[in-house]
A and B are shown apart, each in its own frame.
Chain A
Amino acid sequence: MAAREPLLKIEDLWVSVEGKDILKGVNLTINPGEVHAIMGRNGSGKSTLSYTLMGHPRYQITGGSIIFKGEEIGELPPNERAKKGLALAFQYPVAIPGVSVSNFLRASVKAVRGKDIPVKEFRQELKAQMALLEVKDEFLSRYINDGFSGGEKKRLEILQMTLLKPALAVLDETDSGLDIDALKVVSTGINTLATKETAVLLITHYQRILNYVKPDFVHVFQSGQIVKTGGSELSEELEARGYDWVTQELTPSGVA
């Protein structure tokens, strides 16, 4: 691959929540169009990384840098990051009663693209993506995530990613809580999303989703750091041998 500017370059990133260090020196480089998977145990700091990338005010950057498209984004509010082409599919998206999905999607697409889209054109685009994700029409008139099942919430998250077409989509445990059929549908959505224009950072706990979505790189996350990086074969090895294997490899005495 020719030398080019990375899409995202995270260097020695330290993040704390309420005074407690959660990320302890993360380094990660993602080039345009690449698919990366971050795997790790619960509590290893994976979700902190996704919230920090999107700019959640609860997460304080105490050291290091996040360079996105050549610019430090650590100080930008979330909406400015979204406009630059960063998007996050939430693990637990919140319900917003009274706000219909269709109103919200249109407002969101308008804000990110910086211009209003004619209703008809928007409808067409939306319907195509909805068909792909097997989302029913009645979805649009419901309130955001209000009374949605786990699977419906995840579909709505992926639907938004496919509409926003970000340069980097961070998917935070999009596979958790899905049955096998829903997992397949959501995976199809992710594979449609992952193009030359859209890089994907897939954060997951299980190897399962990687049967459907093939990452270019797999990183193992542990205690607030990336401790091991490999190709897609790494995820299979993790599945077979468990996270303890990485721990043991890193700390030969077996004491994590």
Chain B
Amino acid sequence: MKTIAKERVDEITKQTAEPAWLKDSRLKAFESYLKTPTPCNRDENWHRTEVDSLDLTTLNVIVSDSKEVKAGKEPDVIAAALAHLGKQLPFIYTTPQSVEIGNADSALLSKGVIFCSLKTALTQHADLLNKYLSSGDLSTPDFAHNDKFYLMNQSLFNCGAFFYVPKNVILESPVLNVFTSGEESSIAVFPRVIIIVEDGAKAEFVNISTSARKTATDNTALSLINSSIETVVGQGATLSYLDVSDFSDNTFAVSRVYNEVKRDASLHSSTIALGGWQIKSDIQTNLKEPGAKSDIRGVVLGAGSERYSFNTIQDHIAPDTSSTINFRVALKDSSSSAYLGTIRVSKQGQRTDSTQSNKNLLLGANAHADSIPKLEILADDVKCSHGATVGPADKEQIFYLMSRGLNNLEAEELIVTGFFRQVVQSCPVDGAGDWINNLVAEKILSSKKA
């Protein structure tokens, strides 16, 4: 992997007229970035991802400096989401060329709730952001120390969103943050999303990332989408986060999610990965104070030669915290997945209650799945369990469904949505279940017969 020149960082800070503290933080991250070795597939965490083929010097780092405009007609990707989740939900739609804001008059955005692009936040709410980004209060995730892509994002982030829910404000519907790289290729984009839910508040956030499905067979022009998502769930607060990504097969998508869950707070997070050349996603959740709870779910549907690598880390720092993880992966054709799930319990983390489950369904004859659980437990009074399965689709199920008139793909679609159901139906965002089922069905039914 070739590296990025420092001028890129200077360009970004110049064009976006950012506060000085932010420029410092970008440069600091860039220095660490330079010092951090490029991952290679000998690293446990990277052994299913091919990094060498990524040449960052050829990528055009997008600096969108365009004005934010009110959205005209909703793009299809948003219309489909709104149809299931609620017509009037506020959204931010970011493309390499523009940022559009929709339904900003929604009642959700009252009582001091802020939902805006990161750029707007940096000019209008710089102090608020500064409080969270540069105070020593926020414990930094593992990737801040050793992850080249995370540091790349922290120095170069050039779009994204900010969502702030003040104390005791209860929101029963989500806001939508939608990013698309459109049909552009050879671009590098660094979205950054910051979600702060203050003490006693309740909020929902839907993050959608896509690129236009490629029609050409040209597979050489790659794009990098390198995202960072940070959430802070305050004391007694609840955040439901839903992430849906569907990239084209020339996109290398890296995402780093860092969740911080405070006393008696709850985080529900569902990640739905439906496409991309390579998807490399790390989700770290720090349960920082007693009573903190997290519920992390994932659905991966691979096809073609897509590669997925998910790495979850549950860090039980305080006593009396609990976490559940449920990842389900279905792989068609010669797609592959590696799941690495770490449960970490500190010495102080007594009475931790943690379960982790990862199930893999192999539909394609050449599909491949790895599942690696890792337990690092230093406390002696804990309840931790983990389970993993990898197995082919049941031929008798396929035959049964086909004997009732369904063709091969229709049978597969029912079996896969059934396999995902346990994870999908419990997503706390209203209407999300049907929406996700539809997206899954679309991907299966549009694929070629194996």
Contacts and interface: CB of A to CB of B under 8 A. Distances in A.
B140 to A, nearest CB: 39
Contacts of A97: 418-419, 421
Interface in B383-398: 394-397
B144 interface: no
A159 B421 CA distance: 25
B400 A96 contact: yes
A65 B285 CA distance: 62
Contact of B400 (A57, A94, A103, A112): A94
A55 B399 CA distance: 9
A108 interface: yes
A71 B400 CA distance: 23
Contact of B395 (A57, A93, A98, A164): A57
Contacts of A55: 402-403
A114 to B, nearest CB: 9
Interface in B255-271: none
B40 interface: no
B361 to A, nearest CB: 11
A160 B419 CA distance: 23
Contacts of A93: 400
A206 B418 CA distance: 36
A99 B406 CA distance: 14
B405 interface: yes
B149 interface: no
A83 B405 contact: yes
Given A57-B399, A93-B400, A96-B397, A108 B415 contact: no
A90 to B, nearest CB: 7
Interface string B398-416: 0111111111101000110
A111 interface: yes
Nearest to B420: A98
A126 to B, nearest CB: 15
Interface in A67-81: 77-79, 81
A109 B406 CA distance: 9
Nearest to B418: A98
Contacts of B421: 97-99
A99 B415 contact: yes
Contacts of A87: 403-404
B13 to A, nearest CB: 50
B57 interface: no
B422 interface: yes
Contacts of B405: 79, 82-83, 108-109, 111-112, 164
Interface in A87-121: 87-88, 90, 93-94, 96-99, 103-104, 107-109, 111-112
A104 B403 contact: no
A164 B418 contact: no
Contacts of A77: 402, 407-408
A189 B119 CA distance: 67
A206 B236 CA distance: 65
Contacts of B397: 94, 96
A123 interface: no
B417 interface: yes
A44 to B, nearest CB: 22
A79 B407 contact: yes
Select the residue from B403, B415, B417 with max chain A CB neighbours within 10 A.
Answer: B403
Contacts of A103: 414
Nearest to B416: A98
Given A96-B415, A98-B418, A164 B404 contact: yes
Nearest to B414: A99
A56 interface: yes
A88 B415 contact: no
A12 B23 CA distance: 84
A217 interface: no
A248 B264 CA distance: 79
Nearest to B413: A107
A243 interface: no
Contacts of B418: 96-99, 143
Given A98-B419, A98-B421, A103-B414, A108 B404 contact: yes
Contact of A99 (B395, B402, B403, B417): B417
A54 interface: yes
A77 to B, nearest CB: 6
Nearest to A81: B403
Interface string A22-56: 00000000000000000000000000000000111
Interface string B176-217: 000000000000000000000000000000000000000000
Interface string A149-167: 0000000000010001000
Nearest to A146: B418
A57 B395 CA distance: 9
Contacts of B403: 54-55, 78-79, 81-82, 87-88, 90
Contact of A98 (B396, B401, B417): B417
Nearest to B328: A98
B407 to A, nearest CB: 5
8 contacts: A54-B399, A82-B402, A90-B403, A99-B414, A107-B410, A108-B405, A108-B406, A112-B405
Interface of B: 394-397, 399-408, 410, 414-415, 417-422
Given A98-B422, A160-B404, 10 more contacts: A57-B395, A78-B399, A82-B405, A83-B405, A87-B404, A94-B397, A96-B400, A99-B414, A104-B404, A164-B405
Interface of A: 54-57, 77-79, 81-83, 87-88, 90, 93-94, 96-99, 103-104, 107-109, 111-112, 143, 160, 164
